[in-house]
Each structure stands twice: as structure tokens, then as C-alpha cells.
């Protein structure tokens, strides 16, 4: 009873948590979830309610939870930064035990996770939902330039407000927007902010003095042809230059110059190109966290090696993974994590309870709301496994639409706090049955 009381308090008060994680709380749990992001909370909220108090622990070092899908809107000046975050203590389910530390090591053969302070936490089942690490150091000169010198990034809560601040300061020159060669979360975000910047420059009457350029290391603007066609047309109509196979390798903040390596097989391949800028929005390269990459649960690329249907680990049947840290071959988004969470919870709970129910299978669903201006948005929804669109609504979502903007900017942020983090939002599949009844999926 006392332990239960302490657990309730630990979920609410940071000062209790440190005490609990080292001294009073049990260091062994039915389920340990690594990560208190969107995926980790969607899973741990449901599991902790189903399995009861103190059976589920969430290892999460950050005291603040950010709703990252809102960051593009903040960078574009369409939402306030204050709307994007809440204390972790408020978003972790009261039935779950929050361990306010970083994971340092996973040992799947002894079923333990070692924390940053050396404490070991034992589990019967492990869910890895750690996300992906931003690698600002992966680009020469970026760490010293970012946050000043006109360099910003919507990917970090430290720099997202700088985007809007610096965009407002632009009077003339080049505004550059980059996309790296590594896997990234929300692969649409690098170009969305280019469209919002274009609109801001037009509103200020300086668009003819600013050249807007999108520089991507990839060979196309978007992975799925239907939406790639739409975005190429959006970029063309806004007079935004699209530079394919251009990988940002160096930033000279003092001189305000960005250097790109040309990839691909074209005539310039292997060369470097240096472009002066007034404003530079960087999407940092991203990489799996070292504690995953160095463990036995990762694949060669460093992601948690799971079955793409069941989300169960390929070698350790008591381990599952969800979201950006997983090996799932689909786009890394909150919408994807929502769809994955229902499959993961169903399969894991059946395993824990020993039922012989057939496994649920994830179909690769993901969604990327590509905001293209105020009240304009292309709502890409597709399976990363087949490339087929899976649109929720009856109209063609590759067309810019005010309705899509409203859903993304005003409805989904509320769904995120009130439902996704509580484990009750599993994506729009049910809505699709009514709103787009002729869709095949
Ligand atoms: C979604 O389910 C989701 O999870 C909460 C998001 O994260 C904020 C999204 O951005 C999107 C687009 C979806 C998909 C939902 C619909 C209605 C298309």
C-alpha cells in the first residue's frame, strides 16, 4: 500500500522520482518501456492500466515532454511554443512508474536495462521506444553556428523559436532549407518550413529580394509519387528552387556560407558547392542512440530489429519496439507510432496473458501533414511498405486544403494530449471507414 502511494507521488513529483528509482521503488517490473515520447506513452498508458500499478516502468530522462508535430507551426509563427510542451510528470500515466534517467545499456540475455547512474532495472518484457538522436555535430561548424548567424532548426526545442525570429529579420538574400541523407523523423518537416517562409516573405513584400532554395540529399522531393508530384508543383508555383542530391556538409556561421556535397551520378557528383545565405534552416543528420546501436537487439544500421508486421523482436520474443528507434521500413512520424501502438499493445498483452490469439499486423501506415501556408496543407497518408496512399477523407488529399490544415493544426494537437498519450488513439483507421468508405484500406 505504501509502495502504491509512493508510486502515485513519484508520477507527479520529480523530487520523489529520483529517490524512488534508486531506493524505494522495486527495480524489477513486468514491463519496462524505454522512452516517454509519443510512442512510449501511448504504449505505457494502456499497459499500466491493464496490468496494474507498479507493473510498468517508463525510463525517460527528460522532465519535459514536447509535442513535436507542432514544431513546424512554431517555426513558421503559426503556433506559440508554450503550446508544445507539458511536464513529463503530467503526461505519464499515474499507474506507471517514471524512472527519471537515461538508459545506458540493454542486456537482453539477462533481461536488464542499466541506467546512466549504473542502477540495473530488470524486466520480463521490454518495449524500446527511445526515438532517434539529433546529430548536430555531424555537420562541420553547425554546433557553433546554430542559434545565431541566421541558422535555426525546427527539430530542436532549443532552436525552434529562432526559426521565426530569424525569418522575420530577413530583408534580402538566400533562404536555404536542408534535408540530410540519413533517416530522419518527419521527413516532410525540412520542406514545410520553406513554404511557410515563402509565405512570410510575400506578406512582408520582400519575396522578390529573397531566393528560397530547398536542398535535399535525396533524389526526390518526397518518397511517394502521388505526393512528390503535388509537392513539386507547390514548389514550382511558389518559385522555390529544388536542389536534389545536395547534402549539407559544412556551415560557416561567421561568413554565412553553407557547403553541400553533391551526391548521385550526375555531372557534378562528388563536387562541393558553397552557397551564401541570410537564413539557413537545418535538418540535422539523425542516428540511433548508442545504447541501442551497441546492444544485441539492433540491426546492422543500429535500429531495433523487429518484425515489420508484429513489432516483436526477431531474436528476443520478450522485446518489442515502436517508432523512430525501430527497424520498421516506413516514415518516422507520430501518426505511424499511433498505428503501431495498437498492434504492439495487442500482441504484447496476448503474449503476457498466454492467449493464442493470432497476431495483429502493422501495415506500414504513416501520415505526413505537409503544411504549405496558412490554411493550406497537403495531407499525405500512405503505407511505407507498399507506397499506396491510405487517405482518411473522401477528397484528394494531395491537393492543398483548408480542411486538412484545420484537422492538423487544430484537431490533432488536442487528440495528441487527450488521447494518443493516454493510449486511446490508434490512428484514423476507424474514421476512414465513414469518411472515405470507398478506400481500399
Ligand atoms: C495522426 O494520427 C497523428 O497522431 C496523433 C498525428 O500526430 C499529431 C498526425 O499528424 C496525423 C496526420 C495523424 C493522422 C490522422 C488523420 C486524421 C489524417
- pLDDT tens digits, residue range 194-237? 999 999 999 999 999 999 999 999 999 999 999 999 999 999 99
Q: Residues with Cβ within 6 A of ligand 1? A: 69, 334-335, 338, 367, 369, 379, 381, 392, 407-408, 412, 415-416, 420, 425, 427-428
- Assign residue 302 a region (left: φ > 0; alpha: ψ between -120 and 50; beta: otherwise): left
**Tens-place pLDDT, residues 286-330:** 999 999 999 999 999 999 999 999 999 999 999 999 999 999 999
Q: Tell me which residue has its CA closest to atom 14 in ligand 1.
A: 335
**What end-to-end distance do the CA atoms of the chain give, in Å?**
47
Give the pLDDT score at 441: 62
Give the pLDDT score at 10: 41
Q: Tell me which residue has its CA closest to atom 17 in ligand 1.
A: 428
- Angle formed by the axes of helices 225-237 and 189-204, to 10°? 20
For residue 2, pLDDT over 60 is answered with no
For residue 59, pLDDT over 90 is answered with yes
Mean pLDDT to the nearest integer, 423-437:
95
For residue 433, pLDDT over 50 is answered with yes
For residue 73, pLDDT over 90 is answered with yes
Tell me, in angstroms, the distance from the centre of ligand 1 to residue 383's CA: 14
Q: Tell me which residue has its CA closest to atom 13 in ligand 1.
A: 335
| 325 in catalytic set | no
Give the pLDDT score at 13: 41
Lowest mean pLDDT among 3-7, 22-26, 57-61, 302-306: 3-7
Q: Tell me which residue has its CA closest to atom 6 in ligand 1.
A: 335
Pocket test for ligand 1, best of 367, 396, 421 (most atoms within 8 A of CB): 367
**Band of residue 438 on the pLDDT scale cut at 50, 70, 90:** confident
Tell me, in angstroms, the distance from the centre of ligand 1 to residue 6's CA: 35
Give the pLDDT score at 21: 44
Do 296 and 109 touch, CB atoms closer than 8 A? yes
**Tens-place pLDDT, residues 147-205:** 999 999 999 999 999 999 999 999 999 999 999 999 999 999 999 999 999 999 999 99
Q: What angle do CA 10, 16, 21 make, to 5 degrees?
A: 80
Amino acid at each position: 500500500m505504501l509502495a502504491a502511494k509512493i508510486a502515485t507521488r513519484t508520477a507527479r513529483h520529480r523530487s520523489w522520482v529520483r529517490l524512488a528509482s534508486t531506493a524505494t521503488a522495486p527495480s524489477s517490473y513486468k514491463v519496462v518501456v524505454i522512452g516517454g515520447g509519443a510512442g512510449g506513452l501511448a504504449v505505457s498508458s494502456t499497459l499500466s492500466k491493464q496490468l496494474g500499478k507498479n507493473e510498468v516502468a517508463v525510463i525517460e530522462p527528460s522532465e519535459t515532454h514536447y509535442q513535436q508535430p507542432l514544431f513546424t507551426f512554431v517555426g513558421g509563427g503559426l503556433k506559440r511554443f508554450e503550446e508544445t510542451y507539458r511536464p513529463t510528470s503530467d503526461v505519464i500515466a499515474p499507474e506507471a512508474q517514471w524512472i527519471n534517467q537515461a538508459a545506458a545499456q540493454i542486456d537482453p540475455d539477462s533481461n536488464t536495462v542499466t541506467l546512466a547512474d549504473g542502477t540495473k532495472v530488470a524486466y520480463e518484457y521490454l518495449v524500446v521506444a527511445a526515438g532517434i538522436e539529433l546529430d548536430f555535430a555531424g555537420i562541420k561548424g553547425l554546433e557553433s553556428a546554430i542559434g545565431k548567424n541566421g541558422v535555426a532548426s525546427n527539430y530542436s526545442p532549443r532552436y525552434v523559436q529562432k526559426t521565426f525570429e530569424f525569418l522575420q529579420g530577413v530583408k534580402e538574400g538566400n533562404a536555404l532549407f536542408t534535408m540530410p541523407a540519413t533517416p530522419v523523423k518527419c521527413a516532410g518537416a525540412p520542406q514545410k518550413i520553406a513554404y511557410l517562409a515563402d509565405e512570410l516573405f510575400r506578406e512582408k513584400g520582400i519575396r522578390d529580394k529573397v531566393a528560397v532554395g530547398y536542398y535535399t540529399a535525396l533524389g526526390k522531393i518526397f518518397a511517394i509519387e502521388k505526393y512528390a508530384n503535388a509537392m513539386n508543383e507547390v514548389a514550382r508555383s511558389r518559385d522555390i528552387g529544388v536542389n536534389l542530391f545536395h547534402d549539407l556538409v559544412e556551415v560557416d556561421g561567421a561568413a554565412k556560407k553553407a557547403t553541400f556535397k553533391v551526391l548521385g551520378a550526375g555531372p557534378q557528383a562528388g563536387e562541393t558547392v558553397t552557397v551564401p545565405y541570410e537564413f539557413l534552416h537545418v535538418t540535422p543528420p539523425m542516428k540511433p542512440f548508442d545504447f541501442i546501436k551497441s546492444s544485441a537487439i539492433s540491426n546492422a544500421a543500429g535500429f531495433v530489429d523487429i518484425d515489420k508486421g508484429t513489432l516483436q523482436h526477431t531474436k528476443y520474443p520478450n522485446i518489442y519496439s515502436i517508432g523512430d528507434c525501430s527497424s520498421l521500413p516506413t516514415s518516422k512520424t507520430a501518426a505511424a507510432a499511433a498505428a503501431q501502438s495498437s498492434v504492439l499493445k495487442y500482441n504484447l498483452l496476448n503474449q503476457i496473458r498466454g492467449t493464442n490469439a493470432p497476431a495483429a499486423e502493422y501495415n506500414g501506415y504513416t501520415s505526413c501533414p505537409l503544411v504549405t501556408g496558412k490554411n493550406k496543407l497537403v495531407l499525405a497518408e500512405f503505407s511505407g511498405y507498399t507506397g499506396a496512399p491510405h487517405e482518411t477523407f473522401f477528397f484528394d488529399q494531395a491537393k492543398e486544403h483548408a480542411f486538412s490544415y484545420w484537422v492538423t493544426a487544430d484537431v490533432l494537437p488536442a487528440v495528441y494530449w487527450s488521447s494518443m498519450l493516454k493510449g486511446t488513439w490508434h490512428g484514423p483507421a476507424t474514421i476512414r471507414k465513414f469518411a472515405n468508405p470507398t478506400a481500399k484500406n
